[in-house]
Chain A
Amino acid sequence: MNRDRRGPSFYILAGLFAAFVLFLYGPIATIVILSFQGPRGGLTFPMNGFSFHWFHALFQAQMVGNFGDAITRSLILAVMVMAANVVISVAAGMAFRRRFTGSTVLFYLVIASLIVPSILVSLGIGLFFSQVGLDPAWYSSAFGAQLTWTMPFGLLIMFAVFNRFNKSWEEAARDLGASPWRSFREVVLPIILPGVIGIALFGFSLSYDEYPRTMMTAGDSNTLPLEIFAMTANVTTPVIYALGTLTTAFSAVVIMVAMTTMSIIRRRRLAKL
């Protein structure tokens, strides 16, 4: 087949890809539109006027309970998970560059953390805390539960980063007498920085939206996803779409900030070379 001519397979698969993207993004687009329903509009089309009524309703406390507190909690927790995820994953990523006692076991534990169904992690941590007499709380048990989900992704990113990492830079720094910490800070970290931002993005986003592992571990105070899930059972107005629109827009902004930062770093690096 001529390399420069696109075959029929290209057009068929491009069609499949386009349909998949529509399938992926279409539903979220519909709830964004429907969140601007008029005050008497319902959960489905047609639009009954256009208003900010449901966004307004969102900020009246009695409508959905205490979801302002839940947002604050979720944001603090997401920042905590993000920071811990970066530190733990980068440190472990550095460690996994060589074999050490127990490295194989630890590696399989990381994989297990990813594939053990979330509901089991949630239930197990809940039981563990209650049996040793600790109260589960969003900043302790839920924090740990979410890390079991974010750390494997963080470590996978580190493995990918170190796969393409040229060790001679670091060795040069050490040969010139730099301490391990200094060679990490001034040589390794700047090189792996885009990956580190990726780990931070995963930590923040996965924590901010986490539901199954937080369910049994958050204690008495709900995080935002827990509030949203409770709303799905009893809210029958577009107010839930307004909340969905806001939180998805927030996630989108976080993703864009992270990706823009990564591409700025890469571009600067190219400019320097």
Chain B
Amino acid sequence: MSTTVDTAAARPAAGATRTRAEGRPLGAWLLALPLALVLGVFLVIPIIMLIVVSFLDYNSVQILWSFVLSNYQEALGSAVTWETFAVTIKYAAITWAITLFLGFWLSYFLAFEVRGTTWQMGLFLVCSIPFLTSNIIRTISWIPALGRNGIVNSVLLHFHIIHQPLTFLLYSQFAIILAFVHLNTLFMVTPIFNSMMRIDRTLIEAARDNGAGFWQTIWNVVLPLSKTGIGIGTIFVITLVMGDFVSVSIMGGGQSASVGIMIQNEMSQLQYPAAAANAVILLAIVLIMVFLILRVVDIRKEL
């Protein structure tokens, strides 16, 4: 979904001749104004606010307008903060590895093994429709499968594969990762599928004609040409997992930690500056990760 963006955004620059249909600069500016206003008021100002508040003092009732560094000192001085960030990064890394594997092979199947655009788009829709339904309901819907008396345990007990119900299935890190993979694989499939659909089919045939086997073709042709999609999917999955608290709180059963839950707890105790400090640290980590991904995968190469 994002690769098409880059090309479209860049195109006006490429076509140097201005056509009348595209209108005057003032017209373009007016048309973009509502978007700019909403993003200014509901994204830029709030993020600036977040950064400002993270340097403010507070008592049990309200935020005090005096500059302090104590919110960061407390956050960075606490072992709990470091552990929480570490476990959240671990969730992101594991989820990334699994969704990348699934995203790559599902996209490969859709782009190269399925024949006919109707089938390709139809099966792609099957993968993407759940995105437009409730994430909370989709997460809850794992409970009947994974619980102590759930479907998985019942089946395993019935066939004498286990003799005691497995307790790690629900309210555990396993359950959290499962929910992340369930909710976020789509964000990997869409951009990789998009990249793969743009690969010139004759390149694959050329590779085969020159004697490349299945794996050689994948490694030397398909994978390098899907890198942009993989990069975009990676950014999506990592940012979604790093900021999550819904899946962790439902699937972790109230015992598991994540940065999102830590921030939410501080908010519910009205410690807004402390929450803001952790939020700014989270934002910094996410931005560093995105920056590193952009160093490895040049998304703008598609421009």
Contact = CB atoms under 8 A, between A and B. Distances in A.
Interface string A35-57: 00000001111000000000000
B145 A30 contact: yes
Contact of B13 (A95, A99, A120, A126): A99
B257 to A, nearest CB: 14
Interface residues of B, number: 96
A101 B25 contact: yes
Given A27-B141, A103-B32, 4 more contacts: A124-B45, A141-B42, A156-B4, A255-B132
Contacts of B1: 153, 156, 160
Contacts, number: 303
Contacts of A222: none
B236 A127 contact: no
A87 interface: yes
B214 to A, nearest CB: 6
Q: How many of chain A's residues touch chain B, expressed as a range?
A: 35 or more
Nearest to A255: B132
A66 interface: no
Interface string B2-31: 101101110111000011111101011111
Contact of B44 (A109, A111, A211): A109
Contact of A16 (B106, B135, B250): B106
Given A95-B32, A255-B129, A183 B49 contact: no
Interface string A151-162: 101011001101
B8 A21 contact: no
Nearest to B235: A115
Contacts of A147: 38, 42
Contact of B245 (A9, A119, A153): A119
Interface of B: 1-2, 4-5, 7-9, 11-13, 18-23, 25, 27-32, 34-36, 38-39, 41-47, 49-50, 53, 63, 102, 105-106, 108-110, 113, 123, 125-127, 129-130, 132-138, 140-145, 147, 149-151, 154, 182, 185, 208, 214, 235-236, 239-240, 242-246, 250, 260, 263-264, 267, 272, 275-276, 279, 282-283, 286, 290
B185 to A, nearest CB: 7
B173 to A, nearest CB: 18
Interface of A: 1, 6-7, 9-10, 13-14, 16-17, 20-21, 23-28, 30-31, 34, 42-45, 87-89, 91-92, 94-103, 106-107, 109-121, 123-128, 131, 141, 144-145, 147-148, 151, 153, 155-156, 159-160, 162-163, 167, 170-171, 173-175, 180, 183, 201-202, 205-206, 209, 211-212, 215-216, 225, 228-229, 232, 240-241, 244, 247-248, 251-252, 254-255, 259
